[in-house]
Chain A
Amino acid sequence: MTLLQELAPSLSAKLVVENVSKSFRPDGRALVHALDRATLRVDEGEFVCLVGPSGCGKSTLLNLIAGLETPDSGTLASDGERIRAPGRDRMMMFQESALFPWLDVLGNVMFSLRLKPGLTDGERSEVAHYYLKLVGLENFERAAIHELSGGMKQRVALARALAPNPRVLLMDEPFAALDALTREQLYGDLQRIWAERKKTIVFVTHNVREACCLGDRVILFSAHPGRIREEFKINLPRQRDINSVDLAEYATLIMRSLKGHLKSQATEAHE
């Protein structure tokens, strides 16, 4: 594979989740139905946000797509191929950056590239430089991870996830621990990079406004058991601004629906 091919926008993948259930038994406690018969299709190059209260299974679904966990029943497929294990075609970003403190910034981005066969070391380092530049950290290659701010860490994590040129990017509340201003910057950057790199993105968040700002579609989950309740198409032009009035309207709509589900659940539990 040549460098040009490597850096060309990748083909993005179509994800198909069919009737997937997953339960856990935390040590000595009752079975938890984290996810109950979830069915979801994500189109190529689509940006989908999963929203819902804690324990609704949105992170579980993300881990299942990543191949970090296996479903109790149902099937998951990426581009028609059954997902059984983690793969380089689906890269993941976590709430904590999960960057390796024993490596510097460049070393972290190179870690994912070193595991990708078919490239020379020179090409790998060129790819790493390219992505660090894309996230605006080309001057921090030799910095230690503990020297970076929270926002910079997530930028490095993004570069590390993008570097092997995956088809799917899975993001588990990546901006939840950041301050509002940094987050806003990252919304802009992520939309720009998404447009440029054409990835399929599945993005988990608690924050309804964030979901409306980023997603083509917002999928609403409810908890105990974790179920997909509703989905909303966000018909707003890009780049979107989190503070825009149109966006707030969508967010209000989804929030109302989310509260409705919570209330009906509470009465169900009461009866």
Chain B
Amino acid sequence: MKRTFTALGFFALLVAAWHFACVAKIWSPVLVPSPEKVTRYLWEIAVDGTLASAAWITLKRLLAGYIIGLVAGVPLGFLTARVQTARDTLGVLALGLQGLPSVCWVPLALLWFGQTESAMLFVVVMGTLWSVVLATETGVRNVNPLYVRAAQTMGSRGLHTWVWVILPAALPFIVSGMKQGWAFAWRSLMAAEIYVTILSGAGLGLLLHYGRELNAMEQVIGIMLVIVAIGLLADKVLFAPWENFLHRRWGTAK
């Protein structure tokens, strides 16, 4: 409770400083709109439904790509962890591509897929996949071999061992890979939405882009705040349950 108040107090102070800076007219009001103006903009788009529809379009793209990246990444990570040939080929590729800033996928996606949802999906999948592959590989290779031996003496074999022993044992690594994958996917999606104007739907990135085109700073700052809020929310909704589980069972730091 005290921590919540500390956080709230901190942000209130930040907004107050912003407000007084605007009142004092230190900067041009065109470049730094007042918090009231940003709030009014956010209120308007919330009321006319633009905000909800843009956020929903963005989240749909993100979740679709993220889930594909996860579903493909975990088995590929298992593969590179277990098969030497896969590690020497796919593993090296994953390491290389993970180092590639995900925004670099955007030009390629545009040429391959045109200004379509597929281009968006592709960029998000590329952002997620390699982190998840690498984290899963590290996780599986760090599983205490004793767990597998113990499970074998209890009659666990093959697929049962993978699903009920190796996968949960690698979970701390996989969850941190999921977090990193999420962060990359989120960044790459924003890049893609800013660059790729597509008719199938205006996401948050596009609103941000329009804000710049229209020189509407309250829109730019307002959408940035929304993006920050969604990032924080995702952390709470997507990862907090996993991290609580890890904390409870492994005794890791919360």
Contacts and interface: CB of A to CB of B under 8 A. Distances in A.
A88 B150 CA distance: 11
Contacts of B149: 68, 92, 94, 98
B169 A100 contact: yes
Contacts of B248: 144
A268 interface: no
B250 A115 contact: no
B114 interface: no
Contact of A98 (B150, B160, B250): B150
A145 B250 CA distance: 8
Interface string A64-105: 001110000000000000000011101110101010111110
A96 B150 CA distance: 11
Contact of A115 (B147, B155, B171): B155
Question: Which interface class (under 10, 10 to 19, 20 to 34, 35 or more) fits A?
Answer: 20 to 34
Nearest to A90: B153
B146 A98 contact: yes
A115 B165 CA distance: 13
B168 interface: yes
Q: B149, B150, B248 — which one has the most chain A CB atoms within 10 A of its CB?
A: B150
A164 B169 contact: no
Interface in A102-128: 102-104, 111-112, 115-116
A86 B152 contact: yes
A86 B152 CA distance: 6
Contacts of B171: 102
Given A100-B147, A100-B168, A146 B152 contact: no
A179 interface: no
B156 interface: yes
Contacts of A111: 151, 154, 164
Interface of A: 66-68, 86-88, 90-92, 94, 96, 98, 100-104, 111-112, 115-116, 144-147, 160, 164
Interface of B: 144, 146-147, 149-156, 160, 164-165, 168-169, 171, 248-251
- Please give me the 10 A-B residue pairs with the lowest Cβ-Cβ distance, nearest first: A146-B251, A98-B150, A102-B168, A112-B154, A115-B155, A92-B153, A98-B146, A86-B152, A86-B153, A88-B155
